[in-house]
Structure 1
Amino acid sequence: MPASGPTPGVPDAGTTAAAEERLLDLVTRAVDPAGGFGWLDDRGRRTPGRAPETWVGARMTHVAALAHLRGRDGAGDLVDHGVRALRGLLRDDDRGGWLAVADRPEGPKDAYTHAFVALAAASATAAGHPDGAVLLDDVLAVVEQRFWDPDQEMVVEAWDAGFTTLEDYRGGNAAMHAVEAFTAVADVTGDPRWTARALAIATRLVDGVARAHHWRLPEHFDARWVPDLEHHRDQPDHPFRPYGVTVGHLLEWSRLLLGLRHALGAGAPGWLLPASTSLYDAAVARGWHVDGAPGFVYTTDFADVPVVRLRMHWVLAEAIGAAWVRHAVTGEPGALADHARWWDHARAHVVDADGSWRHELDARNRPSAHVWTGRPDVYHAYQATVLPSLPLAPSLVAAARAQREGRGPAA
């Protein structure tokens, strides 16, 4: 990764450190004394009476583990708090797996949640938490038994609470986050099986489905992974399964493919880099400033017409991260210019004075709460903030550990 002196458009180390500390303060504010991490409102206060959600807690634990690897004071205590909740409050000891929400034992058990538990466990293990490896072994056993389909070489989506009935739906969102988690797991365990599984998922969804749809990646599938292009047409702003093409996922995939390429080294398939570039270019051409106002629209249809014009903070954060990694891999000045442009947009419209990111804006870049209320998630913002100060690696977990071991730029 280029690291010789200040780079125009890239925040300096002091600015990055200050932004990182403000985001970590939000993780601290989210701590629920009863266990896990709560849902933050627009003023950064934990929402009283709202039970901890596992995907939020796992993401917060992952962020805390990265921060601990980067030497941030207090981050180790946050990792410990998160791991204890993932091994206790949020775990279903009777039927196995993890609850989606702490107070809903009869709710479904889904691959999305378990992917983030695996990511948190890998991160905690890399950060040296004494129970990290136990948590990691536990979640990988559940993933192996319940969520990995060896015939399709893909993850299934969701079971009922007792793992007796499997939903017919298959989702690209959960599969994408499985790629992220599996790459991190491979980094921590050294087991190439997880990298191979990440590649199998990426090959099917990106080299297969996205390419066949001219880089308009369908998100919804039946049990045999046949795309359902009409899914949720009547509910286009669904928070987890929106209709059409989710622009931010094209950017997220673009970054993850480059991490997978790095993990595979000389054995990486030749399609990974051009596919990453194509997804990035498609997201920018079809999602950025396409409706007369700056910002990325949330979704489009399969003719590239914007459907949900809300601006989600996580999409902008993924654009920032994807631009940086593309520049780090290719040296393209245009990607670095994009990185600077989108940081400028974030500072102008999304990042508050206290360092938190407004979760959602309307089509005119005004604060909105149509799909999401509050600000529960620092995961995307934190990763976008720290990426330029990390060495290039298969996953952020590997990058932070390499940095700690003196194999990359200082934090």
Structure 2
Amino acid sequence: MPETPHPESAPRLPETEARRLDDAATRLVDVAAHSLDPAGGFGWLDDAGRLTPGRPAETWVTCRMTHTFALAHLHGDARAADLVDHGVQALRTTLHDDRHGGWMSVAGRPDGGKEAYAHAFVVLAAASATGTGHPDGRALLDDALGVMVDHFWDEDEGLVVDQWDASWTRLDPYRGVNANMHTVESFLAAADATGDRVWLDRATRVLTRVVDGFARSHDWRLPEHFDEQWRPMLDHNVDNPGHPFQPYGVTIGHLIEWSRLSLHVATALGDAAPAWLPGAARDLYAAGVQRGWDVDGAPGFVYTTDFHDRPVVRERMHWVVAEAIAAAWTLHRATGEAAYAEDYDRWWAYAVRHLVDARDGSWVHELDAHNEPSSVVWSGRPDVYHAYEATVLPLMPEAASFIGAARGGW
């Protein structure tokens, strides 16, 4: 892989593209602001961008929105500071389990399980709030990191476990890569927000096990599901292949997302980065594109394939295209290669044609195999996080995390 270019030779956005992205980011915040739930946190938006009545706030949605508003605040959006505060207060009160510690998955349901996935997003939201200078951000971050270490982090494995019961007495034997992926993301943000190297070291350990271990040993067909000894369960959910969080087979978008995270870890480590990291980022991205894009007669990324590269769930998820945009730009910035810039343009052209709603700038969350709106896996439009990150990343300086980049000035 070519050496990372010096900042003065790094790719620069044309002014027209920067203006387009700025406008798109503002419109996404316009939509996201409608998710404010007066009862606490941020709720589920429907296809019209309205709060879904009677559906209580969920921790992962609240955290993603809080993180998005934190980035918008540092980008000069005057509305965003109050929205960050609303999210922080919900995580300190409405969504927090005051009896057992940690966070409920859904507001008002203290008997539900405690998920590493949701807790990783609490860390991300808290780190981003800390990065904005929110007065309660650091206390929330310290609490969230403490829960992650006490209950989810497995020091021997260098990975996180997946789910406990409400009182932290029974650990489910299932182990998952999805929660570990978002743990890498959140630990990188925590490292940038706190300056504590331990979070970067833990993020690197997770990424090494997953990318240089699980993904490489399966020719970049990353298994997502494992038993408690971290043995792959390749048939997990074969009878429910479109599960929104634990789908059967290879999740194409995750290959691309791990590619980007690999480059973020490499950025954080600098000269100390392992030699395998840049090549692994390229290989993961190539596998996702070759095995997931336009493989069933229509443009778009299929959601999943089996372990022989045959499409399984053919719905096209908005977040996969968003991750492809972000990864292509990150690879272009790291290598200077024109092919990645061409991919960046190609993924954006698809998004504008099929996903971005001209009415309000939100993204249709799911399309069918013919690129028509669908709701087989997801309903509504509750998640602006992927789309917002893809939109603002090219506007930001190179960094290990979005909050680290945003604090450095746009």
Q: Same fold (TM over 0.5)?
A: yes
Query: Which one of 377, 397, 400 corresponds to residue 394 of structure 1?
Result: 400
The structure-2 alpha-carbon separation of the partners of 1:11 and 1:312, relative to structure 1 and needing over 3 Å to count, comes to farther
1:97-142 alpha-carbon deviations (Å, 9 max, x no partner): 0000002111100100000000000000001100000100111111
Query: Which one of 361, 367, 372 corresponds to residue 367 of structure 2?
Result: 361
**What is the one-letter code of the residue matched to 1:157?**
D
Q: Distance in 1 between matches of 2:290 and 2:254?
A: 14
Shift of 1:6: 4.7
Q: Distance in 2 between matches of 1:308 and 1:103?
A: 33
2:44–2:380 Cα contact (<8 Å) kept? yes
Who is 1:346 aligned against? 351
**What is the one-letter code of the residue matched to 1:95?**
H
Q: Distance in 1 between matches of 2:337 and 2:78?
A: 35
**What is the one-letter code of the residue matched to 1:373?**
S
Q: Distance in 1 between matches of 2:381 and 2:16?
A: 23
User: How is 1:47-196 mapped onto 2 (pairs within 5 angstroms)?
Assistant: 47-196=52-201
TM-score, with structure 1 as normaliser: 0.96
Shift of 1:400: 0.5
271-280 or 185-194, which moves further after superposition?
185-194
The structure-2 alpha-carbon separation of the partners of 1:282 and 1:265, relative to structure 1 and needing over 3 Å to count, comes to same
The structure-2 alpha-carbon separation of the partners of 1:5 and 1:112, relative to structure 1 and needing over 3 Å to count, comes to closer
Q: Distance in 1 between matches of 2:265 and 2:10?
A: 22
- Report the RMSD for the aligned CA atoms in angstroms: 1.1
| Structure 1: runs of 5 or more not aligned | 404-409
Who is 2:297 aligned against? 292
Who is 1:311 aligned against? 316
10-19 or 142-151, which moves further after superposition?
10-19
Q: Distance in 1 between matches of 2:80 and 2:10?
A: 26
Secondary structure of the 1:306 match is coil
Who is 1:407 aligned against? none
Who is 2:4 aligned against? none
Shift of 1:60: 0.2
**What is the one-letter code of the residue matched to 2:225?**
H
Query: Which one of 248, 252, 257 corresponds to residue 252 of structure 1?
Result: 257
99-108 or 292-301, which moves further after superposition?
99-108
| Structure 2: runs of 5 or more not aligned | 1-6
Q: Distance in 2 between matches of 1:220 and 1:268?
A: 27
Q: Distance in 1 between matches of 2:179 and 2:16?
A: 32
Q: Distance in 2 between matches of 1:4 and 1:229?
A: 40
The structure-2 alpha-carbon separation of the partners of 1:222 and 1:77, relative to structure 1 and needing over 3 Å to count, comes to same
**What is the one-letter code of the residue matched to 1:150?**
E
User: How is 1:204-353 mapped onto 2 (pairs within 5 angstroms)?
Assistant: 204-353=209-358
**What is the one-letter code of the residue matched to 2:99?**
D
**What is the one-letter code of the residue matched to 1:292?**
G
Who is 1:371 aligned against? 377
Q: Distance in 1 between matches of 2:377 and 2:291?
A: 21
Query: Which one of 5, 14, 19 corresponds to residue 19 of structure 2?
Result: 14
The runs of at least 4 consecutive aligned structure 1 residues that moved more than 4 Å come to 1-6
Shift of 1:213: 0.4
**What is the one-letter code of the residue matched to 2:330?**
V
Secondary structure of the 2:187 match is helix
Secondary structure of the 1:48 match is coil
Secondary structure of the 2:342 match is helix
Work out the percentage of aligned pairs sharing the same amino acid: 61
Q: Distance in 2 between matches of 1:227 and 1:397?
A: 33
1:142-173 alpha-carbon deviations (Å, 9 max, x no partner): 11100101121110100001100000000000
Who is 2:49 aligned against? 44
**What is the one-letter code of the residue matched to 1:231?**
H
Q: Distance in 1 between matches of 2:232 and 2:188?
A: 25
1:25-62 alpha-carbon deviations (Å, 9 max, x no partner): 12210001111001000000000100000000000000
186-195 or 238-247, which moves further after superposition?
186-195
Q: Distance in 2 between matches of 1:272 and 1:4?
A: 21
Q: Distance in 2 between matches of 1:245 and 1:79?
A: 35
1:196-249 alpha-carbon deviations (Å, 9 max, x no partner): 111111111110110010000000001121111111111100000000000000
Q: Distance in 2 between matches of 1:222 and 1:120?
A: 29
**What is the one-letter code of the residue matched to 1:391?**
P
**What is the one-letter code of the residue matched to 2:346?**
R
Shift of 1:71: 1.1
Q: Distance in 2 between matches of 1:294 and 1:39?
A: 28
**What is the one-letter code of the residue matched to 1:110?**
E
Q: Distance in 1 between matches of 2:380 and 2:11?
A: 39
Q: Distance in 2 between matches of 1:159 and 1:247?
A: 27
**What is the one-letter code of the residue matched to 1:165?**
R
